[in-house]
Copies of this chain bind each other. A is one copy, B any other.
Amino acid sequence: MPLDFDPTRPIYLQIIEAVKKRTVQGIYQAGGPLPSVREMAKETGVNPNTMSRAYMELEREGFITTRRGEGSSITKSAKRIDRERRTLARAARDRFVAEIRDLALSRDQIDDLLREILEEVTL
């Protein structure tokens, strides 16, 4: 969990994104446990109230389930997780396209670029 949040955006949103990302990356397992609110709050130095809000939102979205006295766990649904994966991928894609679009790259340069990306990602 990153301890350095972007101060210009709500921390609870950044926590939500981090949990989703870690799950997509396999750091948190589908159906597996998530650290408790208190634990996670201490680890990140965030106020427990803020952390609790992030968990509640994740629950509302169906990404985690929380049971009183048992803590929280990641959704068991591989489909649900893959939906996040695709969302993250699309966001990265859009940022990349925005950066690249106006560079007036030649068709060859674009092809090279995509080939390089493919190589490095499937490495």
B97 touches A85 (CB 8 A): no
Which residues in B have their C-beta under 8 angstroms from that of A110? 118, 121-122
Which residues in B have their C-beta under 8 angstroms from that of A117? 93, 96-97, 100, 114
Interface presence of A113 (CB below 8 A): yes
Which residues in B have their C-beta under 8 angstroms from that of A103? 24-25, 85, 88-89, 92
Q: In angstroms, how far is the closest chain B Cβ from the Cβ of A7?
A: 10
Nearest opposing residue in chain B for A94, CB measure: B120
Interface presence of A99 (CB below 8 A): yes
Nearest opposing residue in chain B for A111, CB measure: B118
**Which has the most chain B C-beta neighbours within 10 Å: A103, A116, A122?**
A103
- Which A residues are within 8 Å of any B CB, using their own CB? 24-26, 60, 85-86, 88-89, 92-93, 95-97, 99-105, 107, 109-110, 113-114, 116-118, 120-122
